[in-house]
Every structure is written in structure tokens, then in C-alpha cells.
Structure 1
């Protein structure tokens, strides 16, 4: 690789490490490390939520899917945009207020635990296990993408995997939530600019949109039709991805970390605008790639990388490489931190060291990041792993496990501890069963988040109705939280 490209890449990494060191200086307790002291401004919360959501899928998976299958893949970004908007619109304000009213909860598992005064800790433990299990696959998907990128420096997949993991662990270990959020803001901005520039430059270099469309028409006009191979199951499956936003801990925690609920409307507008335009750029990148690379044998998930090497100067190629790594790092750092929070706050602090000092908990959280990284590396050790498949399973598992219980906890006064626990377990079980039996066809053709959400919701409703009504203290806390929401 050109030395100028490497230098540009190093400059980017220097900025990231500098941000982490600044965050380290103002991280004093566990609340700072896992939630930034609830001091995120609207723009930072917006880009942090958006960038940590998109992961390697935005620059690798989505362009690759469009490159192979054409415009019938636009339904997935549309479903995601709708889901993200609804989660911001419906959950952000209530979750910000409820999580603080519920004993200043720092994680989603601790929020549900405190929401129902679960003195047994069963909700927190169940959700911590679910978080760690599914995030292992989610984090592994990002590491696969990072290794694919770093292989361009002429190193083996294993060396690339170790290098990428070390970079991400280093700044997450140092700066915690603030480092993650600030770097996500910086990296999200970089990703956005690159996704606007690359398809435009590629199309211009190729000869314009008319020539691009003519070539694609010759190769196969079905790729221009968003309804190609369209059927009810495909439509439902692609749109169903939007359900995942109601249960992604690393995204929902941004709602909990916003400075005040008055910052949420501007954060929502920024995040949805960023998402929409970025996904349009990703779709166009894959679309132009069909014409640009039709005579070449190319890995579909490397389209963006190929454009960066083909069209741009070494310096700009380094910036584009940095954008790809940004998409990967934004997701992995948030996932590692959410997993670390589950290990530290929901297991270690809740079960083993209830009187642990804040300093001890912060350091436990840091070392938990290393443990999580090692597990994810083991799962990502297969260089043939497909990013989109790993993301799909983890996204469904987290969305179906958390989503119905979080929605119920915020909006249903009659919900109980057993309803939450039933929803968590049934949602997770349904996702796993559908994943295992996917090859059988029939009802198992549906994306696993659909049955997961259905069974999770049934678990919440039936479990709550079969349980005794909530105690007076649970109802008083619920009413108090909603009173604060209405006042603002």
C-alpha cells in the first residue's frame, strides 16, 4: 500500500486516540464510564446512535447486497429508517426519564430490574446473559469487516484481526462511553462525507448516470427493478429489520445518556437525516459498482474498498479507508462497552461485589472489554464469515429479547416482573429456534426477529396477566416517571 495512504490512516488513528485520552481525564466513576454521566448533547447523541447502529454493514454489507441483487435491496434501508424514527419518537423521552427515576439505572438490564423492583435479580441476570451472548456474534461481525479492510495493508487475515481488535480495545479501554460517543461523532461525520462523495465520483468517472444505467440494463434489467423477485415474505423480512431498534442496548443507551429530554427532538432529526442520506449513498455505491466492476471478479462486500483504491489519490484513499474502519469501530466500541457494562454492573456488581468502589468497578469494566474482545475474535476467526449474516442473527436476538419488554415497561402500567422475564426468554428462544431451522422453509423462511418479537410480546402480556398485579411502589414509580414526562 502507498506510504501516503498509510500516513493518512495513521493521522486518523491519532485523532481517535487523542479523543480517548481526553475522555479518560474526565471519567471518574462507573456512571461516567458506561453512560457519560448523562451529559451527551443532541448532535453527539444523534451521530453516536446512528454510527454505532450501522456498523460494517453500511459500507461493506449494504453496497455488497445491492451489487449482487440490485435495487430490490432498498426495502431494507427503508425498513431501518422507519424503525429508527419510531424508536426515537416513541422510546427516547420515556426511557431517558424512566431510567433516571428507576434508581438512576445505568444499563437496560438494570433499568428493567429497577422498574419492577426485582430483588431476586433474575431480570438483570437473564438480560446480561442475553446481551453477552448475542453481542459476541454482533462484535464478531465487525471484527470480520475490520480484518477484511486491514488485509489491504498486505497482512494475513489473522494479523489483520488482531491489529483491528487491538486498536478498538485500546481507545474503548481508555476512555469508556465518552470516548466511544465522541469518536462516533467524529467517525460518523467522516462516514457521511465519504458516502456522499464516492458514488458521485464513481458515476462521474464512469460517464454519468445514463451510461451507468445503460450498462446495468444490458447486464440484467432486473437489477433496476426494486420489485424483482418480490414476494410477501421478502418484503416482510426486509421491513422487519426495523423492529430491532426497539431492543438494541448499544443504541437505546444513547437515549438514556442525553443531557435532557429537550435535546431529543434535534437529536432525532439529525440522526434520521444522517441515516437516510448515508444509506442512500451506500445503495448508490453498490449500484454504480454493478456497472463499474462488471468485467472484474470482485468480492461484493469489498466494493467500497475497491472504489477507494481505483478512483482516488493515495491521500484520499487513506481517508476512505479510515471511513470504512470508522463504520466498523463505531459499532464494535459500543457493543464492547454494552457487554462490559452488563458484565460489570449487572453481574459483577449485582451478584458478587455490591459494595465495590467506583474505581474498582471502572477497572473491572475495562478488563471486561478485553475478555469480550477475545471471545469475539475467536468467533471471527473464520475469514469466510459473511458480515450481513452475523449481523442479522445478533440484531434479531437483541431486538426480540429487549424490545417487547422495554416497550411494555415504558407504556403498560400493569406489566410485571414475570411478564418482563417471560418476554425476554421467549423472544430469545424463538430467534434461536428460527435460526437453527431456517433451512427447513415454510414458516422458518421468516426473518427470526418476527417470531421473536411475536413470542416476546406474548410472553410480556400473558406473563403479566397471570402474575399478581404490580405492587404499590412499582405503580408509584411508574406514575411519577410519566408525570415528569408530561411536565416536559
Structure 2
């Protein structure tokens, strides 16, 4: 039995478990609401861990530890920004979005919510929002499939083409079969696996490097700047990293978790669980990269793969320091991170195509069974397009992923946030905000003015456009104001 055999067995068992969860969710899926939002039945625990796992992709176990390993603790500003942004999202958006979507036509998707909230009979807001979701998320999905392929390729020595299908097949299977319930339940398992890996690994690395003091001394010896939070950082640089947190207000796959909670009263408990999970995971990821500096300084003979690609620091430490069976479980955590995010993105794309195009424009009277099967077909369609893009991992379109987070954050974030707290917002304000946010991100990215992360100007200009166009045109109708007040009263009565 080779060293990779235990890892292969662990991966196969893990993937089989995810598909079985998908089959169980299939038996619970009766209509489109079940398939897209799990019938709004998620308890606090599943809501919390599903929101966390769908947010943290392979970046958590590969990208972040790699950045810390390469540049030191100064790269952790992004983690701080994400924690602040996620907390504010839970605090200001989660509960209100849960009640507002129910009061506004029992909306199942963000475009659906925008259409009902602003009484957009022209449907142009629905179309534009759904197009933004499809463009950004199909590319996002492609990047997740590439990450999964790279994991299978490096762990089992598969060819890239074989690894591509191996990595994508399981995620597509359980998302296709079980829809939102499968995605949420598997997310909960995956989040548990991720936190286990990110707490255990830095502890074992620390023991292998001789404890806290010798480890910090070794890191300082390699480069004292590794311990400097402001190493090479400008004010603009720190603000740009922290601004990643702004993106949370507009991420459709995370907002869908809030919409699916069983009630607004489940949100405070979910917030506490989710934030605890997130802080521990991010701290663990930072620690893996940070302590990895000391380990590979002391063992340069084992540092070949990490020297070629710093993002392999977690993979290499797991392989070196753990029994192959445990290493298999830890590496499954990377697969879990990739699968949890990819499955959410596939489902959001599927719901945009099914609810916002097929049902709204092609078959208004379609039955529930028909809509669920159309949803499944759309999962398959989007996945195949994403695999087509991912087939060439050097394809330049994957460069767009770097600002997909900013695109969603600036295009949707201000609309979601302002629509939940200001009843004076109008359809024209929402349209202006959507277009301004998306265009600003794309243009700013091309020119890179001031070295500022494009989400900052995108978010600011979008917010200004919303306020200006809401104030200069016709105000909200009496029914819009009535629905807003009723939803806000329900939210306040829940004592969030």
C-alpha cells in the first residue's frame, strides 16, 4: 500500500458520504422553494456553518496560509477585514433580509427580491441582476473546479484532465440531486472538517518546531519583518485589504443562507456560532502559514514543493507531519472548502436561470416538479460551461475571479444594505446603484488608480447613485412603504 492509498480511501469515503447526504436531501425536496432555499427550514447551527463554509473556499487552506508563509503576518489584514465585514453582515443584513424577502413575494433569489421590493414591472432589474450573477459565478465556479483539479493532480499524480472531472463530479452530483438542503447539510459537515484541520495542524507544527518561543525566534531569524503587521504596508494597502469585508453585503451565495433560516429568531444564535467558527478558522489558517516559516527554515530539505508554490504549505505540512490516514482527512478539508463554495455557486446560478429567466419569461405557469427538474438541468449546464472554461487552467478569463468578489460587493452590496434600512429607496435608485457599482469595479480594475482595491470606489459610487436617483425621481408607492414597515416591525418585534 503506497502512501497515497490511505489518502485515496479517505477521499473516496468522504465523497461517498457527501453524495449520500445529497440522496437524503432529494427525498426531502418537493418543490422549487425546497430546491432553491430548503423550504426556509434551516436551524441556527446549519445556517451558521453553511454560511461560513460557502464563504471560505480553497483560499482558506491554500491562498491565505501561502500568503502568510511568503510575506509574514502583515498579510493577515485581509482576515481582520473579513471578520469585521462578516460580523456587520450578520448584524445588519441577516435578520432584515430574512423578513423582507418573505414580505416581498416570498422571494427565493436576490433578483426576485429586488423585483418585488421595488415593484419593477419592467423586469429590467431582475434581468440585469441575474446576468451579473451568471457572469461572475460561472467564472467563480471555473476557478473552484481548477482548484479541485490541482488538489487531485498534486495528491494522486493524476493528469490535469482526469483530475478536473474527478474534482468536479462529486460536487455536481450532490448539488444536482439534493439542491439547497444537500448543499447546506454537506456545508455543515465540511465546515466541521475545516475547523478540525485548521486547529489541529498549527498545534502539531508548533510541537514539531519546539514550542512558541523557539518558533517565533526561528521566524524572526529568517526575517524580522515577518513579525511586523505593517511590513511594507501603506495606508492605502491596509485599507484595501480591510475592504474585503465590504464584499459580504453583496455575495448571493452567503445572503441565500440568511434567506433560508427557519425564522428571524434563529439569526442571533447563528451569528454567534458562525463568527466563532470563522475566527478560529482564519486564525488557524494564519498560524499554519506563520509557523510553516519556522518549520521549513529548520527543514530546508523538505521545502522543495513549498518553494515552488507557497500555497502548498498546508498540503505539505499535512503530508510530512501526519500519519497518511490523518493526512487524508486533513487534505479532505481542502476538498471540503472547494466543494462547499462551488456547490453554493452552482445552485445560485441554477436558481437565477430557473426562477429569474425560465419561470419569469418562458413558463409563468410551470408546475413545481417541472421547475425543480429545470433547476437540476441548469446546475448541469452551468457546471459544464465552468468545466469548459476550467479545461485550460491558463485561460485568462480566470483572472476575472480576482475582482468577482468586488463586483458582487459593489453591484449588490449597497442595494441590499440600503433597501433593508431605508424605505425611501426606489427602483431607479436600485438600477443606478447596480450599474454604477459593476461598471466602477470593472473600469477601476483596468486602470488601478491609487493602488486602491476597486470595491471601495465601487461601493461608494454605487451608494451615492442609489441615494441621488431615489431622491430625484418618483418616490416609493404606498404599497412598497406598507410592506417595508410590516417587515421592519416583524424584525423589531423579534428583538434582534
CA contact (8 A) 1:135 1:339 kept: yes
CA contact (8 A) 2:441 2:455 kept: yes
Distance 1:281 1:386 in 2: 32
Distance 1:448 1:191 in 2: 30
Tell me what 1:292 maps to: 295
Tell me what 1:129 maps to: 131
Query: Does the alignment pair 1:217 with 2:246?
Result: no
- After superposition, the Cα gap between the structure-2 partners of 1:216 and 1:236, relative to the gap in structure 1 and judged at 3 Å, is same
Structure 1 ranges of 4+ moved more than 4 A: 384-391
Alignment of 1:230-309 (within 5 A): 230-294=233-297, 295=300, 296-297=303-304, 298=306, 299-309=309-319
**Deviation, structure 1 residue 476:** 1.3
**Deviation, structure 1 residue 5:** 1.8
Which shifted more, 451-460 or 236-245?
A: 451-460
CA contact (8 A) 1:135 1:335 kept: yes
**Deviation, structure 1 residue 382:** 4.1
Tell me what 2:14 maps to: 12
Which of 467, 474, 485 pairs up with 1:461? 467
- After superposition, the Cα gap between the structure-2 partners of 1:484 and 1:177, relative to the gap in structure 1 and judged at 3 Å, is same
Distance 1:281 1:333 in 2: 24
Distance 1:204 1:145 in 2: 30
Query: Does the alignment pair 1:331 with 2:337?
Result: no
Query: Does the alignment pair 1:53 with 2:63?
Result: no
Q: Deviations over 1:79-111 (max 9, x none)?
A: 100000000000111110000000100011100
Tell me what 1:375 maps to: 385
CA contact (8 A) 2:220 2:227 kept: yes
- After superposition, the Cα gap between the structure-2 partners of 1:391 and 1:285, relative to the gap in structure 1 and judged at 3 Å, is farther
- After superposition, the Cα gap between the structure-2 partners of 1:78 and 1:386, relative to the gap in structure 1 and judged at 3 Å, is farther
**Deviation, structure 1 residue 156:** 1.5
Tell me what 2:172 maps to: 169
Tell me what 2:111 maps to: 109
Tell me what 2:198 maps to: 195
Distance 1:20 1:387 in 2: 31
Distance 1:375 1:314 in 2: 35
CA contact (8 A) 1:64 1:300 kept: yes
Tell me what 1:419 maps to: 429
Tell me what 1:185 maps to: 188
Distance 2:387 2:469 in 1: 37
Question: Partner of 2:279: helix, strand, or coil?
Answer: helix
Query: Does the alignment pair 1:480 with 2:486?
Result: yes
**Deviation, structure 1 residue 256:** 0.6
Which of 94, 98, 116 pairs up with 1:92? 94
Distance 1:241 1:388 in 2: 19
**Deviation, structure 1 residue 320:** 1.0
**Deviation, structure 1 residue 385:** 7.7
Q: How many residues were matched structurally?
A: 484
Question: Partner of 1:55: helix, strand, or coil?
Answer: coil
Q: Deviations over 1:238-285 (max 9, x none)?
A: 110000110001001111100011111110000000000100000000
**Deviation, structure 1 residue 388:** 11
**Deviation, structure 1 residue 389:** 6.3
Q: Deviations over 1:152-183 (max 9, x none)?
A: 21112222112111111011000000000000
Query: Does the alignment pair 1:437 with 2:452?
Result: no
Distance 1:165 1:483 in 2: 44
Tell me what 2:82 maps to: 80
Distance 1:160 1:96 in 2: 39
Specify every segment of 5 or more residues in structure 2 that has no aligned partner in the other structure, as ranges: none
Which shifted more, 312-321 or 135-144?
A: 135-144
Which of 393, 403, 409 pairs up with 2:413? 403
- TM-score of the superposed pair, with normalisation by structure 1: 0.96
Which of 307, 323, 326 pairs up with 1:316? 326
Tell me what 2:27 maps to: 25
Tell me what 1:157 maps to: 160
Q: Deviations over 1:383-419 (max 9, x none)?
A: 4589996653111111111111111211111110010
Distance 2:398 2:269 in 1: 31
Distance 1:392 1:461 in 2: 28
- After superposition, the Cα gap between the structure-2 partners of 1:211 and 1:389, relative to the gap in structure 1 and judged at 3 Å, is farther
- TM-score of the superposed pair, with normalisation by structure 2: 0.95
Distance 1:58 1:482 in 2: 35
Which shifted more, 401-410 or 388-397?
A: 388-397
Distance 1:333 1:308 in 2: 25
Which of 345, 364, 375 pairs up with 2:355? 345
CA contact (8 A) 1:140 1:390 kept: no
**Deviation, structure 1 residue 305:** 0.9
Distance 2:273 2:399 in 1: 29
CA contact (8 A) 2:142 2:398 kept: no
Say what the alpha-carbon RMSD is for the aligned residues.
Answer: 1.6
